[in-house]
Structures are given as C-alpha cells and as structure tokens.
Chain A
C-alpha cells in the first residue's frame, strides 16, 4: 500500500485543516477513531508515549478525556464535549488542552471513495490570533530563516 501523507493547511483565518487518506472502508476508520480499545493502539504521536486515559461518551453532550504519558514523566492531556455525532460520517466536538488554552471546535469528517477513506479534521480557533499563536505560524517567516539560525543563537547564548 502506498503511504499517504498528512497535510496541514490554513483553510480560513481561524482554522487549520488536517487531512489524510486511509486504505480502509469508512466504517472501520470511524470505529478506529471512536472506540477506546482502538484509539489507545494508534493515537500515540511520536514513539515512546502511552495513552493511559481514553474516556469517550460518544453522544451529543457527552464528554471525552484523553491523557498521554511518557516514560520520563512528561504528560499531555486534553478533553472536551461532543456536539454532533453522526456515525460513520461526522463528529463535532470541543477540545481544550488546559485552562490557559483557547478552546477549539473540531469537526472530523469521514468520506469514502473506492474503498479509501479520507479523514478531514477542521480545527476552529476562537480567533486568528489564537490560531496563529497556537501554531506559531506568524513566526514562520522568521523561523524559515531557520532553525539553524536559532540554533546558532542558542549556542551563542550558552
């Protein structure tokens, strides 16, 4: 199977869109995204993380809570509430990483074509400023000039 790539785009001022194609029918991809026994097997990010908490009450008004942990003690947590649940097509939920973080409204769409399923995540921030801050995109012009330059600065400051 050819490896698909994950794309991240700025669809509007307040949104980012993450899209990925999977070589599997929609029903299966939807289940993999909504059942804890499946999610804890793959929604783990980079190597080394486990997902000790994966609570899902999949209905409008129901809440969800995910937590990850790494061997060195680092932790990451997020939670929210489901607003719309339309199996196997569409989920709308809120997401928050902590009290200091802006709450986003995330829409996840599952569409099937010729046995392949496209998953589209639309993450809606409360404002452009919040989105840019969260992604650091505003800094990209500076950062493109690049990590090397930042590394050089850091070395100099040590």
Chain B
C-alpha cells in the first residue's frame, strides 16, 4: 500500500466519530439517518464525516437510492491493522534476534 494512502486512512481514523461510524458499519450497511442516530449531530455534520471516510476509501455509498446507504470497505482498515500489528511485530522479532546476537557479543568479549 502506498504511504500516502496509508496517511489518508490514518487521518480519517484520527477522529472518534468517524471511528464510531466505521465500528457501526462492521455490522452492515446503514443510511445517514441510521448513522447519525447515536450522535448528537446533524445530518450535514455526519455527511461531512462520511465524505472524509469516502475519500479515504474506507466506505462506499450507494448511488441508486436516494438515501444512499453506506457500506464499509475493509481493505484500507486491514492495511492499518496490519501496520499497527506490524509495528509491535517488528520490535518483537528484532529483539529476539538481539538476544542471540548479544550472546555472541558476550562470547566474543570473553575470548578476547
């Protein structure tokens, strides 16, 4: 995944309302009205968040119906999850290697 796309996804995820919207969409597609119900927010305010999510490629919106139901696109989400997991994994794997490398350094030190 291109770094700039990942940045766009991160920027979209940085907002708690948008994360809550995505969380809701994990259960299935929903209309703007349904999505705005749990928030003390107007339809236009929610629509603004939806546009950010749409631009980040995190959701898709139906064209045919007037109420344009929103649907999650999990692909960029999965990339972010992989990245976060990858960060922890990166250090864990590196440190395992360092354990062995330090043993070698100690042995070399003793031989001197």
Contacts and interface: CB of A to CB of B under 8 A. Distances in A.
Interface in B84-105: 84, 86-99, 101-103, 105
Nearest to B109: A28
A64 interface: no
Given A46-B93, A130-B14, A141 B101 contact: no
Contacts, number: 122
A147 B81 contact: yes
Interface centre among A29, A43, A136 (most CB of B within 10 A): A136
Contacts of A8: 88, 91
A6 B90 CA distance: 10
A45 B89 contact: yes
B38 interface: no
Contact of A138 (B16, B94, B95, B96): B16
Interface string A80-108: 00000000000000000110110000000
B99 A22 contact: yes
Contact of B77 (A23, A43, A150): A150
B75 A154 contact: yes
Interface stretch (B19-27, B44-52, B61-69): B19-27
B11 A24 contact: no
Size category of the B interface is 35 or more
A153 B72 contact: yes
Contacts of B74: 150, 153-154, 157
A137 interface: yes
Contact of A28 (B14, B19, B26, B105): B105
A3 interface: yes
21 contacts: A3-B96, A4-B95, A6-B92, A24-B106, A28-B109, A31-B105, A32-B98, A41-B97, A43-B94, A45-B89, A45-B90, A46-B90, A133-B11, A133-B13, A134-B10, A138-B13, A138-B14, A138-B19, A139-B80, A142-B23, A150-B81
Interface of B: 3-4, 7, 10-11, 13-16, 19, 22-23, 26, 72-75, 77-78, 80-81, 83-84, 86-99, 101-103, 105-106, 109
Given A23-B103, A28-B109, A150-B74, 19 more contacts: A18-B91, A22-B102, A28-B106, A32-B98, A44-B93, A45-B93, A46-B90, A100-B4, A130-B14, A136-B84, A138-B16, A139-B13, A141-B23, A142-B23, A149-B26, A154-B74, A154-B78, A157-B73, A157-B75
